[in-house]
Chain A
Amino acid sequence: MIKIKPVEIKTISQYIYDISGIHLDQNKTYLFETRLSSVAESLGCKSYEELHNKAKADRSKKIERQIIDAISTNETLFFRDKGPFELLQHKLLPEIIDARTPKSPTLKTSIKIWSAAASTGQELYSIAIIIKELIPDLSRFQIKLFGTDISDSAISQASYGKYNKFEIERGLARPQLQKYFTSMGEFWKIRDELRAMVTFRKMNLMLPFTGIGKFDIIFCRNVAIYFTLQDRKKLFNKIADCLADDGFLVIGSTESLTGVCPRFIPKRHLRSIFYQKK
């Protein structure tokens, strides 16, 4: 493993912040080394300074993408933390369905949900499974599930929807697994009917949210923790802009919006908290 010099930590962490908004603690030397050493070595770099220079000079941005992939943490569980999904099933979806069902029976109920840090897709597919279980006949619905992440490789895995048995065995019960996935040896692939409900796109949450429209429910879990307070404020302000006035926001169960975004108020349902606009 290539050792990082103190002076390199400063430049590399600034570079990572510039390309991703991820704020890495400069004291965590091991984090830089465990995440970036193999990227540096694979490119034949002897130091992180060399890696930094190579990345900046690379017009194709391939190295930049490799660095983002290496530095971003990919969540690998379906139904990670039951709370938000029970909340979705028993409170948020029923309320949104009520509010969005048109008076005319010929019109469809349109619902848009966004997973802002979709990683490799488990959260969004978990949401899709809940929707399928709650609404067996989707013909009267137009449901759009949108997932974004900063990592290219995470997005492509999410789009493909193929998971190994370790990524799948926690969180998913056997009947759900067999109902919604096809077995491929040691792997499981999401079935087309669920795959068709979702769209994934690469997106940096630090940049303006252009052309994504308004959402009824937004999941933004366990990503803002990697941002500075100032960037967190900007992020949730932009999220408030693209959330419907009666829509719902769900953040990570150990996250807080106190002192971050006064436009949201927390509300409790059973053992979970969700946010609505004031």
Chain B
Amino acid sequence: MNKLSILVVDDDPVIRHLLEQRLKKANYTVEVAEDGHIAEKLIQKNPYDIILTDLMMPGEIGGIEVIEIAKEKDNNIEVILITAHSSVDSAVEAMKKGAIDYLEKPINFDELFLRIEKIITVRSLLRNARDIYDAKDATEHAASETIQNLELIAAQLQQRLDVVENELRDEAKGPEARIENALNLIAGM
């Protein structure tokens, strides 16, 4: 599997550095942004799998806005919000905007890694589901061509049978003439 790429957005240099070190040690590709504006530029430029963002940051772009920017660019980017203990209401609002989860400060790294692993599991399930859908589509497509061709052939044959049947049932003619005509019709098909 490709290495997961994570963007860390936090204006606190200590937390930012700590997250970067711990995530890199866990073998993820990590980039950092010190505020929402830098995060916006990075999100527009690079593809990320996960964004870890602080809720409260100086400037016009806070954590909620980072979620909106990320989701607008690619709905598959998952955002985990980092909040102070007192701002659970904002965290709920963030979840409504599409954040997948939130973590309270101080960050418990075991918890963080569990969340990330959960995201990886969901992503691989989704990829499997997509693969199965694609395989089903391919099979269905091949089957439908065969079935549709047979459907048209069956309908044509039925039409010919109807013509022959009509001829054989034509009481205005004698039996021999009917058979003769029917045979001619079959030969001409």
Binds A, one of B41-49, B151-159, B166-174, B178-186: B151-159
Q: Which residues of chain B (133-165) have a CB below 8 Å from chain A?
A: 133, 137, 140-141, 143-145, 147-148, 150-152, 154-155, 158
Q: A81–B142 Cα gap in the complex (Å)?
A: 12
> Are A254 and B150 in contact, with the CB atoms below 8 A?
no
In the complex, what's the smallest C-beta–C-beta distance from B94 to chain A, in angstroms? 10
Main secondary structure of the interface of B (DSSP, over half): helix
Binds B, one of A28-36, A135-143, A162-170, A193-201: A162-170
> Are A170 and B148 in contact, with the CB atoms below 8 A?
no
* Number of A positions contacting B (CB below 8 A): 21
Q: A165–B96 Cα gap in the complex (Å)?
A: 13
The residue from B95, B137, B144, B151 contacting A258, defined by CB atoms under 8 A apart: B151
In the complex, what's the smallest C-beta–C-beta distance from B24 to chain A, in angstroms? 30
In the complex, what's the smallest C-beta–C-beta distance from A250 to chain B, in angstroms? 12
In the complex, what's the smallest C-beta–C-beta distance from A58 to chain B, in angstroms? 35
Residue of A nearest to B142 (CB): A254
If A186-B98, A253-B140, A253-B148 are given as contacts, then 20 extra A-B residue pairs at C-beta distance below 8 Å, sorted by A number, are: A81-B140, A165-B75, A166-B126, A169-B75, A170-B130, A253-B141, A254-B140, A254-B144, A254-B147, A256-B147, A256-B151, A262-B158, A265-B155, A266-B148, A266-B152, A266-B155, A271-B145, A272-B148, A273-B148, A273-B152
Known A-B contacts A166-B126, A253-B144, A254-B143; the reply to A268 vs B152 at CB < 8 A is yes
List B contacts of A165 (CB < 8 A). 75
A70 CB–B CB distance under 8 Å: no
A185 CB–B CB distance under 8 Å: yes
Q: List 9 A-B contacts (CB under 8 A).
A: A83-B144, A165-B75, A253-B141, A254-B143, A255-B147, A256-B147, A266-B148, A268-B148, A268-B152
List A contacts of B143 (CB < 8 A). 254
> Are B154 and A258 in contact, with the CB atoms below 8 A?
yes
Known A-B contacts A169-B75, A266-B155; the reply to A258 vs B150 at CB < 8 A is yes
Known A-B contacts A169-B75, A253-B144; the reply to A266 vs B98 at CB < 8 A is no
List A contacts of B141 (CB < 8 A). 253
Interface size class of B (residues with CB under 8 A): 20 to 34
List B contacts of A256 (CB < 8 A). 147, 150-151
B17 CB–A CB distance under 8 Å: no
Known A-B contacts A81-B140, A166-B126; the reply to A185 vs B151 at CB < 8 A is no
The residue from A170, A185, A257, A262 contacting B98, defined by CB atoms under 8 A apart: A185
B97 CB–A CB distance under 8 Å: yes
Q: Which residues of chain A (105-123) have a CB below 8 Å from chain B?
A: none
Q: A265–B157 Cα gap in the complex (Å)?
A: 12
In the complex, what's the smallest C-beta–C-beta distance from A165 to chain B, in angstroms? 6
Q: A83–B141 Cα gap in the complex (Å)?
A: 10
> Are B75 and A170 in contact, with the CB atoms below 8 A?
no
Q: A258–B159 Cα gap in the complex (Å)?
A: 12
List A contacts of B150 (CB < 8 A). 256, 258
In the complex, what's the smallest C-beta–C-beta distance from A99 to chain B, in angstroms? 23
List A contacts of B133 (CB < 8 A). 170
In the complex, what's the smallest C-beta–C-beta distance from A95 to chain B, in angstroms? 19
Q: A262–B148 Cα gap in the complex (Å)?
A: 16
In the complex, what's the smallest C-beta–C-beta distance from B171 to chain A, in angstroms? 23
In the complex, what's the smallest C-beta–C-beta distance from B106 to chain A, in angstroms? 28
